[in-house]
Amino acid sequence: MEFLDRPTRHLFFTGKGGVGKTSVASATAITLADHGARVLLVSTDPASNLDEVLQTELAPVPRPVAGVPGLHALNLDPVAAADAYRERIVGPYRELLPAATITSMEEQLSGACTVEIAAFDEFSRLLGDPSATADFDHVVFDTAPTGHTLRLLTLPSAWSGFLEGSQNGASCLGPLAGLEKQRALYEATLRALADGAATTLVLVTRPERAALAEAARTSTELDALGIKNQHLVVNGVFRAQSDDAIARALERRCADALARMQDEFIFMPRTEVPLAAHALLGSDALRALLGGGTAPAAEGDVDAAALPPALASLLPTLEAAGHGVILTMGKGGVGKTTVAAALAAELAARGHRVHLTTTDPAAHVAQTLGDNVAHLRLSRIDPAEETRLYTEEVLATAGAGLDAQGRALLEEDLRSPCTEEIAVFRAFARAVDEGRDGFVLLDTAPTGHTLLLLDATEAYHREVLRQGSNMPEEVRQLLPRLRDPDFTRVLVVTLPEATPVHEAAKLQADLRRASIEPFAWVIEQSFAAVETSDPVLRQRQQRETRYIDEVRGLSQRTVLVPWVPEPPVGLSRLRALVTTGPRPSQNAASQLESTR
């Protein structure tokens, strides 16, 4: 790995959800520490799983990592960061301003966007203030899935521009004086990100078309931000060690995807990491990922007949009412988009009116569906377009009766990055409202971003109760509809692996705290449900059974989707995915024949 031969002080790992960012970032940090460097590993993901991967309980401050001398790690806690940020802004005014004004400031600082900017504030301190990490030779950042990370990385310029353009001294985050104090830090953060001698951006991807396409888009956007020193890591490259159909199909999918890699990557330094047979938990397993140790062997056989049923077993209940909302939720890269598109295609084929939409900033719904389908409408909640529409609406209503100074103040407030959060939330509420007249399939963003959206839902519902009739009806009804089990069916999607299952369990707990009960769990891309003699794949399928059993213990309904030889793209393959069950040899062979 070139970036390990001459490591910069800062290393950023980003990519599509589920590509192995945390594993590769952790293995890199361990390698640097094993060579004698003092290393700090930082997770900026709101749904971090760094604790589980390192097998070490972490906190928002550096803690030593078990079994790795020289390595410390921390999780940025967005909620704790928001509390500290809120107090830093409001605290200086407590003795100077009336209580009502203080209360108003605290209400302004209670939204989801405050959580985001507070987490960014902590991130800026670690990157832009050298004294904050003076005890370490390298700082390795394990970031959230691409869409969320791109937003994080664009915030320095967004906030700098907002501060420069602001003339009236107020924003949705309270008095700008608090933000002005951070201006120098934000500018230092921008310089550190763009300095190729100090920062390396490592794009992690899988050898899959969608993941490679997203990596290419991310590379272009990061280049536009001035982040030029980029390196590509292709994680999970598989080379068959047997002649069975499944192993050859997986090898062919990897090779085809790599052969189609876009021109952007031709001159970019690249590292390929083999598909791991073992669970990437703990320092020894992580060392083995980069070739520095021996992987522990898996044991046991799979009883395919005892696996959960196919996705089709959910259809009778899902379509009984003839309308409603179906949300797919889970960690990035677990197959939420595929499950949403497959069910949408099947419901539309059965004659139902269906709207398939997504809140994921990095979604690939259109590519997954491919064809035009009768009865099925496809859309995407576009943050930029929704922000434009929302801004026009506010200026036409709230701004209509204002004088020039008042309108200028309103326009300034609407230019803040927080406006996008409100606009996306409103679009989400409109989509849910359509479930009264047909089926709405909502493919949500990875867990962390979705939790921020649900937090916003709770916050807006409190505002609805406070403001009475001043909110649109779809916003007033949003939380009650999400809580109605006859109207909204949440499908928790996971892979049969430790981190996706445990992250989904936390998501389920968060949903239940909001009085939203998941309808079912969907286990995606299971090798346990296919027949193979390849030693790497056999270890993986044996390892999966533990997590399949764990999911059954967590859910009232569990279904399983086998790994399929051809990418589940296009109407016929998506519909086949709904009915494909855990009957290894027959299903795999029939799919191979039908797709050739």
Structure tokens at 88: 């830093």
- Long-range contacts of residues 582-588, Cβ cutoff 8 Å, at least 24 apart: 582/304, 582/307, 582/308, 582/309, 582/310, 582/526, 582/528, 582/529, 583/304, 583/529, 584/304, 584/529, 584/530, 584/531, 585/531, 587/529, 587/530, 587/562, 588/245, 588/246, 588/530, 588/531, 588/562, 588/564
Structure tokens at 313: 């077993």
Give phi and psi for 433, each to the nearest 5: -60, -30
pLDDT at position 569: 86
pLDDT at position 32: 96
pLDDT at position 171: 47
Element (H, E) at 316: helix 315-318
Q: Kindly give the confidence (pLDDT) of every residue in the chain, 596 residues in length, as a single tens digit, with 9 standing for 90 and above.
A: 678 888 999 999 988 777 889 999 999 999 999 999 999 999 987 777 899 899 999 988 999 998 999 999 999 877 777 777 777 777 877 887 778 777 767 766 666 566 666 777 778 888 888 888 999 999 999 986 555 555 555 555 555 555 555 544 444 444 444 555 666 777 778 788 889 999 999 999 999 887 888 888 888 888 887 888 999 999 999 999 888 899 999 999 999 988 887 676 777 899 999 998 878 889 988 998 876 444 455 566 677 778 999 999 999 999 999 999 999 998 878 889 899 999 999 999 999 999 999 876 555 677 777 767 889 998 888 888 888 888 888 888 878 888 888 788 778 777 766 677 778 778 888 999 999 999 999 987 655 555 555 555 555 555 555 555 566 788 778 888 989 999 999 999 999 988 889 889 988 988 888 888 999 999 999 999 888 889 889 888 888 998 999 999 999 999 999 999 888 888 889 999 998 776 544 444 444 344 33
CA distance 280 to 287: 9
**Rounded to whole angstroms, what are the CA distances from 208 to 8, 16, 341?**
28, 11, 18
pLDDT at position 417: 62
Q: How many CB atoms lie within 10 A of CB 212?
A: 24
Cα 189-193-197 angle, rounded to 5 deg: 120
pLDDT at position 372: 78
pLDDT at position 64: 97
Three-state SS letters, 168-192: CCCCCCCCHHHHHCCHHHHHHHHHH
pLDDT at position 380: 85
Element (H, E) at 525: strand 520-526
Catalytic residues: 18, 20-23, 45, 499
pLDDT at position 107: 67
Asked if 241 and 206 count as a contact pair (C-beta separation under 8 A), the reply is no
pLDDT at position 169: 44
